[in-house]
Structure 1
Amino acid sequence: MITIFKANISEDQESRVRQFLNLFKEILKVDFDFEDCDNILRIETVGNITSNIEIVLNSNGYFCKELL
């Protein structure tokens, strides 16, 4: 499953965000698109953990919302 998020994560924050995302064993791949106006975060997972990702990132000071 691939989920795409709108985020406010910058290149400087990427390594810190990856540390949070490493907590999820269901995540297979993480990609950032900093050139997109929405700072796209693409996450490939086994199963639907979208709400968990949003909760963890939003509660740590980042904006992260699934694009539908």
Structure 2
Amino acid sequence: MDEKTKQVQVRLTPELHSKLKGTLALDGRKLVDFFNEAAYAYLADSVKYKNTISEIIGGKYNGKD
């Protein structure tokens, strides 16, 4: 199996980037692991993922009502 990975660019506000990176660092985690886990979770069950995100952030998903 090919073990090569693809690089993606994610745009976050400086404030969100700092908060996320800092919080993950305190938990001993990396940004790359966070985004990989989110991708796997979404692919495993996109409906559950969307519903869970909506519950966590107050009924909004991806910045939309």
Question: Greater Rg, structure 1 or structure 2?
Answer: 2
Higher strand share: 1
Taking structure 2 as the reference length, what is the TM-score of the superposition? 0.30
Taking structure 1 as the reference length, what is the TM-score of the superposition? 0.29
